[in-house]
A = this chain, B = another copy of it.
Amino acid sequence: MYTQNYPSRLLAEAVEQFSSLPGIGERSALRMALFLLRQKKEDALNFGTAINNLVENIIFCKVCHNLSDSETCSVCSSKKRDGSIICVVENVKDVMLVESTHQFNGLYHVLGGIISPIQGIGPNDLEINSLIERVSSGEVREVIFALSATMEGDTTNYYLHKKIKDHVKKVSVIARGVSFGDELEYTDEITLGRSIINRTPFENSVSE
């Protein structure tokens, strides 16, 4: 709606950049640009600098492909982590999600996506070969698949399992079942069915 009415080329360019972000329209983009102009100049300059620093200096961990500030990420280089368990996730955000549960003390492997023929993502677009290499060392005792509970996730799980099953003793998948706080009435039948098949001893069901 504002197009061509920008009083400044610099403003128009900043708005264009903000609009390119996911979920941001031209109105919000303008609000953001004007917001920055109302801040102290120093603070506002920190904004662009932080972004450029990120883009310029971020490193992907050479072991697990997680984002990192150094060649090997903080998880892979930590001596407190158990290197014999690898949790396979789709992306960086998922590493953070699993970390936030404080229930996993092994290492990660970030695939960089999941197999999705519709989106044109095949096995070769993902970090699968490096996973096979990691488990081939013989030091890995268990691989946990923590991908989305979707068709694409299942396909990827199946493909990965075929590729690594000869190298590793135990391959597991995170449990699927009724979410914490969900009423049974609103749970779909596939989830409920699986939660019955994969029922756990009552003693184990008490959350820590």
Chain B residue, CB-CB nearest to A2: B96
Residues of B within 8 Å of A32, CB to CB, are: 21-22, 24
Residues of B within 8 Å of A16, CB to CB, are: 50
**Residue A92 CB within 8 A of the other chain:** yes
A14's partner among B20, B44, B50, B66 (CB-CB below 8 A) is B50
Residues of B within 8 Å of A44, CB to CB, are: 51, 55
A31's partner among B20, B22, B48, B55 (CB-CB below 8 A) is B22
Stretch at the interface among A4-12, A134-142, A175-183: A4-12
Residues of B within 8 Å of A96, CB to CB, are: 2, 5-7, 30
> How far does the alpha carbon of A56 sit from the alpha carbon of B1 in the complex, in Å?
26
CB–CB B34/A92 < 8 A: yes
CB–CB A7/B68 < 8 A: yes
Number of interface residues of A (CB under 8 A): 60
> How far does the alpha carbon of A99 sit from the alpha carbon of B10 in the complex, in Å?
18
> How far does the alpha carbon of A108 sit from the alpha carbon of B12 in the complex, in Å?
19
> How far does the alpha carbon of A92 sit from the alpha carbon of B23 in the complex, in Å?
24
**Residue A100 CB within 8 A of the other chain:** yes
> How far does the alpha carbon of A58 sit from the alpha carbon of B61 in the complex, in Å?
39
> How far does the alpha carbon of A7 sit from the alpha carbon of B9 in the complex, in Å?
37
Chain B residue, CB-CB nearest to A47: B17
- Cβ of A55 to closest chain B Cβ, rounded Å: 4
Known A2-B97, A8-B67, A36-B51; further 6 A-B contacts with Cβ < 8 A: A2-B96, A2-B100, A21-B32, A22-B31, A34-B93, A48-B55
- List the 3 closest pairs (A to B, CB-CB), nearest first: A48-B52, A48-B51, A48-B48
